[in-house]
Amino acid sequence: MKTVNELVDQDVFVIPASFAQQRLWFFDQFERGSALYNIPVAYRIAGRLDVAALEAALQALILRHESLRTTFGVQEGEPVQVIHPDQKIDVPVVDLTGAAESEQQLRTEELMQTFANVPFDLGSGPLMRVQAVRFSEQEHLLLVNLHHIIADGWSLGVLIRELAELYGAQASGTEPNLPVLPLQYADFAVWQREWLSGEVLDEQLAYWRENLGGQLPVLQLPTDRPRPARQSYRGQTTRFTVPKELARRVRELSAQEGATLYMTLLAAFKVLLHRYSGMEDIIVGSPVSGRNQVEIEELIGFFVNSVVLRTDLSGGPSFRELLARVREVSLGAFANQDVPFEKLVEELSPERSLSHAPLAQVSFAYENFDRAPIEAAGIRISSLDIGLETAKYDLTLFIGEGEEGELNGRVEFNTDLFDLATIERMQESLIALLEGAVADPAQSTAKLPVMSTTQRAMLLEGWNHTATPYPSDRSIQELFEEQAAKTPDAVAVVFGEEQLTYAQLNLRANRLARRLQALGVKPETAVGVCLERSAELVVALLAIVKAGGLYVPLDPNYPQERLAFMLEDADLLALVTTSRLAKRLPEHSAALVCLDLQAEAIAAQSGENPANTAGPDNLIYVIYTSGSTGRPKGVCVTHRSVARLVKETNYVRFTEEEVFLQFAPISFDAATFEIWGALLNGGRLVVFPGQKPSLEELGRVIRQYEVTTLFLTTALFHQMIETRWEDLVAVRQLLAGGEQMSVAHVRDVFARSGGWQFYHVYGPTETTTFATACLIRDASQLEASVPIGKALSNTTLYVLDKHRQPVPVGVPGELYIGGDGVARGYLNRPELTEEKFVTNPFGEGSLYRTGDLVRWLCDGNIEFLGRLDHQVKVRGFRIELGEIEVELGKHEKVSETVAIVREDVPGDKRLTAYVVPHEEQDITAGELRSFLAEKMPEYMIPSAFEVMEKLPLTANGKIDRQKLPKPGVDRGTQELVLPRNEQEQQIAAIWQEILGVEQVGVHDNFFELGGHSLLATQVISRLRQTFGTEMPLRVMFEAGTVAELAQYLETEQQKAKKSEPAMGTVSRAAYRKKRGTLSNDLGN
C-alpha cells in the first residue's frame, strides 16, 4: 500500500477516511485478498453498443465523482483517502458472437463469477472495474465491479442513470443533462467528523447506550456445522417469493397497525429468529441509506450505515404487540441513525470474536431500488443479478417489491454454517409465519406457525407412524411361560459353569414365586432384590414377576444412606438377598428371603406355574435414578412397556439363536433389554461372572460364550474399540448408547468389522431403556455426531419448544417421548410426575419430557445435542449434577460448589467439582471424595475436585461454567504481572499510550482493557516501527496479551518490513482552501 508521502508530489487531495471507510480498510488489512466487499453488478444491453462512447462516458463519470478515483493510504496507522485528479479506465470486451447459445451461457456464468470475485488493492486502485461481453452486434452484457469502500447500493442507481446520460451525450455529440455536483464524498467525510464531535453525537450515543446497554446477546441460530473459530465469509444466495395475495394482506395489516411494510416484515423475521434460536432478546442489523441531506443524494460514495434493532420477545407477545414494539424500536433507531456503526461498536465495546460479526449476527434489508430499464442513444439497459459467493453475516434477508404485487426475497447465508436446504426451510417458515400473522395478528408469537402444513404433518404423523402389532395385552409372566413351554430344553441362563434350561429356570422361579406369594406378594407389591450377578439373580427377578409383584433392584455397593432411602421409599414387602449381603443393608421392615438360608423351604414349594395375577398395566419394576434435589426417584415401569421393548419390534433381531450378555448392573435399566430380550424370545442369557470387570475379562467372556447380541455404554464401547476390538468380531448385533457417541470410534467399527450390525441407541429410564435406535450403515456419511436414530415400534417422538410447539427440521427443541414405553410415573412423587409426564396434545396417552436437547435431521433421524439442564450421562448413568452439588454443600467446610462434566480429551467425559470453602477453612480433594463416597454411588463421585477462592460469574450474577478452569492447571491470578524483559516493556508501553491506561500486565487482554479494531491497527503500526517486523493485524486477535505478542515477535521468522515514514496531517482547513467547494451548510 502506498503511503501518503509517496503521493504528495502529485495533484492529489489527502483527507481522513470516513468512519465507514475506516472499518472496511481495517477489514482489508485483516483479510488481505478478500472479495467480500466487492459490489459486482451486471447490465443487459439491448441495441448496438458503441464501446468507445461507453469508455468516454465512464471516464467522464470518474471525473464527475471523486470517489471513483480515490485510493487509500496510511497515516500514523490510520487510513486516509487519496483523491487522484484522474483515473484511466479501459473496457475490455469478451467476444462470444461465434459461440452457441449454451456455450455463451456457460462462459458468461464463469466470466461473471471470476469478475465478481477478483479482490481490489485499496492502495493502488482503481477501485472500479468494467468489462463487456458481446453476444451479437445487438446484445451485450456490461459488468461493473466496485469496492464497497467507495460506493453503496444507492450509488449503483446513481451510477447507471448518469452513465446512461453520459453515454447518450457521447454517442450523439451533445452535452449531458446533469447538474453540477456541489459536493463530493470527501466533503461528507470531513463534515461527518466535525458534526459528530459535539452535542449531536452525545445525544445519539445516549440513545444507543440506553437501548443496547447490558450484555448483548450473540444470536445462536441452529447451524448445520459447528461455527469455525474464524469467519471465512464464504456464502451463497437463494431466492424466494411471497405470493401476491399474501403480500397484499401483509400490506393491509401494516396499514391497519400504523406500521410500514418494512416494520411488518422485520417483525416476522424477528419471530422467525426467535423461534429458531429459542432466544428472546433478538438483535438484527439493518442498513440505512445515510443520505439524510439532499446535497448528497446524487453522489457516488459509501454513505450507507447500519442501525442495530433490538427487540424483546419475552412473554409471548401477540404479533400485533410485537409489531408495535418493532415500530417503536425502528423509529428510535432511524431518529438516531447518524452515529456510524463503527463508532457504535467502539462505544459499546461488545465482546469481540473472530467467529462472528459484532453487535448483530444477522441483517435485514428492505430493498426499494428502481430496477426499471433505462433507454439511452438506441440502447436499452436492464439490470441483472450476480449470485455472490460471499456472506458478511451469518445470514441476511433482503426483501422488496416485485413487479406484479408479490414480494421478492433472497437470503445471503454463510455456507460454513448452513446448508441450502436449511435456508430454504427458513424461507418456508417465514411464509408460514406471515400467513399466520395476517390470519390472526392477536395470536401469540410463541404459537404462530413456523412450518408448512405438509412439514408439520410429516413431523407429527409421518415420522411417528410406528404402530405395529405386539402382545400388548399380555404380562411378562405369560410371555415367558409361553416361551418355556415352546423350548423347554434350550439353555436359558449361563453363569460360569452353571447352566439352566428354560424348564429348569421356570421350575426354580415358580418355587420362589410361591414362597413370595405366601408372604403376601401380589400385583403392585414391591419386592427388593439385593443380589450380585448370578443365575440366582435371574431366578429372583423372574420369581417376583411370576408372584405378581414388582422388583426393586438394590445395588449392594450403594452407600448406606442411599440404600436406606430406597428401602423406605419403596415400602418393600419382601427383600430377596443372601445372608452375607443382608448384613450390609440398613435397617428395614421388609420380610427377608435369604436364598442360602431358605433354600430348603423354597425347594419344597410347588414347581407348577402360579396363577397369572398381574396384567400388562401392572408394574414390573421400580428403578431408582438420580434426582435433582438430592433425592433419588423411583421410575415405575409396567409389563406392557417391557413387552414393547423386546417383542415384535423394529430394531435388533430377538430370536432363539441369539446369545445375550447380561453385563449391565441390575440397577441400570439396560439390564431390562439384556434379560427380557433373551428370555422372552428363546435366546441364551450369559450372566457376566465378575463384579468389577476389566476390559480383558469382558473380552474373554464375549469370546468364550460366543455372545452375539451385546449392549455397551458409550464410554465402554469407546474403550473396547480402542484396545479390544478383536474381542467383538463374533458379535452380530452391537448396541451402544448412554452418552454422545464419538464419530471416530464408529468409523473404527466399520474399518475393523467383518459384519456387525451396529446400533446407536437412546432412551431414558422413564421410557423403558430404549426409545430410539439408529442402525449405522455407512460411517463415512457421519459428520459432527452420530444420530440417536428413529423411534422404536409403538413409540412416538416429538421435538417441541418451551411452549410445547413443534419445531421445524434442524431446530433444537426438547425431546418428548410417547407410546407404550412411557413409564407410569415416579413412585411417591405426584408433583414431579405431573411435571415430567404430560398430556399428549397430539394423540393418546402421556408424553415424557426428557429434558434432552435434540433436533430432527432431514432423513427423519434425531440428533442429540445435550441436556437442557445440567443433567448428564457418564458411563451410561444419568446423573443430576444438582444432586452432587447438594451433597457437597452439606460438608461443613464447603461454602459454594458447582459440578460440571469436562471433556478436555475428546470422548473422555469426566465429572469435575469446583468448591469454595468457608473462610479460614482448608479442604482437600481426598476429604471431599471420602465425604461423597459415604453418600453417593461410585459413578456419581467426581473424578477431580478443584478448590477455588471464588467461582466466576456472568454479568447476570450466575455461575459462568464456561470459565471454570481445567483441573490441575495453573489458571493464573488476578494480580498484575509486570513486564519481565525489555521486549515486554516496549509492547506494554505502546499499549499504555494507545489505550490510555497507567499499567499493563503481561497477561492482560488487549480488548478487555478497552481496545478495539482501530486501536489495534495503531498498535500493529507502532509494533512494526519499533521492532521492524511485519505483523498481520490478526495477530492482535490471536495473541491478545503482551506475553503472547512478545512470544510471537521472538519466534517470527519472516523478513521484517521497513516501518512506514512519518507523515504530516492534511488539515480540514487546508482541504477547504485547496478544494474551495466545501458546503458549510451541509446538513442544515
Q: Across residues 711-739, what is the average pLDDT? A: 89
8 A C-beta contact, residue 502 and residue 487: yes
pLDDT at 616 over 90: yes
pLDDT at position 542, please?
A: 99
Residues 181 and 204 in one domain: no
pLDDT at position 1076, please?
A: 44
Strand order, beta sheet including 619-625: 591-594, 574-577, 526-529, 550-553, 619-625, 633-638, 825-826
204-237 pLDDT, tens digit each: 999 999 999 877 888 889 999 878 767 888 999 9
Residues 435 and 480 in one domain: no
Cα distances from 868 to residues 472, 906, 1084, in angstroms, run 33, 21, 55
pLDDT at position 878, please?
A: 58
Measured over the CA atoms of residue 960, residue 963, residue 969 and residue 974, the dihedral's sign is negative
Residues 129 and 227 in one domain: no
Residues 118 and 177 in one domain: yes
Assigned domain for 1057 exists: no
Residue 5 pLDDT level (bands cut at 50, 70, 90)? very low
383-407 pLDDT, tens digit each: 888 877 889 999 999 999 988 899 9
The total number of structural domains in the chain stands at: 5
77-86 pLDDT, tens digit each: 789 999 999 9
Lowest mean pLDDT across 283-297, 379-393, 583-597, 678-692 = 379-393
Assigned domain for 696 exists: no
pLDDT at position 951, please?
A: 80
Task: Pick the most confident of 348-357, 534-543, 920-929, 1069-1078.
Answer: 534-543
**DSSP string of 132-188, one letter each residue:** EEEEETTEEEEEEEEEGGG--HHHHHHHHHHHHHHHHHHHHT-----PPPS--HHHH
Q: What is the CATH number of the domain that holds 123?
A: 3.30.559.10
Assigned domain for 761 exists: no
Cis peptide before 917 (omega within 30 of 0): no
Residues 178 and 210 in one domain: no
Assigned domain for 992 exists: yes
In 3-state terms, what secondary structure has residue 392? coil
533-571 pLDDT, tens digit each: 999 999 999 999 999 999 999 998 888 999 999 999 999
Residues 332 and 439 in one domain: yes
Give CA–CA dist 976/979, Å, rounded. Answer: 10
Residues 425 and 505 in one domain: no
Specify the DSSP class assigned to residue 507: H
Using alpha carbons, select from 954, 865, 869, 968 the residue that is nearest to residue 912.
968
Average pLDDT over the chain, rounded to an integer: 88
Lowest mean pLDDT across 115-129, 281-295, 1030-1044 = 1030-1044
628-649 burial: b if 16+ Cβ within 10 Å, else e: bebbbbbbbbbbbbbbbbbbeb
Give CA–CA dist 789/774, Å, rounded. Answer: 4
pLDDT at position 807, please?
A: 97
404-421 pLDDT, tens digit each: 899 999 999 999 999 999
pLDDT at 781 over 90: no
Q: What is the CATH number of the domain that holds 937?
A: 3.30.300.30
Residues 225 and 312 in one domain: yes
pLDDT at position 709, please?
A: 98
Lowest mean pLDDT across 119-123, 594-598, 751-755, 1055-1059 = 1055-1059
Q: What is the CATH number of the domain that holds 558?
A: 3.40.50.12780
Q: Across residues 1037-1054, what is the average pLDDT? A: 77
Q: Across residues 726-738, what is the average pLDDT? A: 92
Q: Which long-range contacts (CB under 8 A, 24 or more apart) does 937-941 make?
A: 937/555, 937/557, 937/558, 937/559, 937/562, 937/877, 938/557, 939/874, 939/875, 939/877, 939/879, 940/626, 940/877, 940/879, 940/883, 940/884, 940/911, 941/911
Using alpha carbons, select from 1079, 745, 1066 the residue that is nearest to residue 73.
1066
Lowest mean pLDDT across 149-158, 523-532, 991-1000 = 991-1000
Assigned domain for 231 exists: yes
Residue 870 pLDDT level (bands cut at 50, 70, 90)? low
Helices first, then strands: H and E counts in the chain = 31, 41
877-911 pLDDT, tens digit each: 557 677 788 788 888 898 778 899 888 766 667 78
Assigned domain for 852 exists: no
Residues 348 and 401 in one domain: yes
Place of cell 432363539: 656
Identify which has the larger pLDDT, 1022 or 906: 1022
Domain carrying residue 542: 474-637+663-668+676-690
Q: Across residues 124-147, what is the average pLDDT? A: 95
Assigned domain for 601 exists: yes
Using alpha carbons, select from 355, 422, 416, 352 the residue that is nearest to residue 390.
416
Residues 146 and 254 in one domain: no
Assigned domain for 1017 exists: yes
Residue 1010 pLDDT level (bands cut at 50, 70, 90)? low
Identify which has the larger pLDDT, 693 or 1060: 693
Residues 497 and 616 in one domain: yes
Residues 215 and 315 in one domain: yes
Question: Distance from first CA to last CA of the chain, Å, rounded?
Answer: 37
Q: Which long-range contacts (CB under 8 A, 24 or more apart) does 114-120 make?
A: 115/40, 115/143, 115/145, 116/35, 116/38, 116/40, 116/145, 116/386, 116/388, 116/389, 117/35, 117/38, 117/389, 117/390, 118/35, 118/38, 118/145, 119/33, 119/34, 119/35, 119/38, 120/38, 120/147
Residue 939 pLDDT level (bands cut at 50, 70, 90)? low
Give CA–CA dist 394/412, Å, rounded. Answer: 8
8 A C-beta contact, residue 479 and residue 512: no
Lowest mean pLDDT across 93-97, 109-113, 731-735, 1022-1026 = 1022-1026
Q: What is the CATH number of the domain that holds 1000?
A: 1.10.1200.10
Please classify residue 552 by burial: count the beta carbons closer than 10 Å to its beta carbon, then call 0-12 exposed, 13-18 middle and 19+ buried.
Answer: buried
478-506 pLDDT, tens digit each: 999 999 999 999 999 999 999 999 999 99
Beta bridge partners of 398: 365, 410
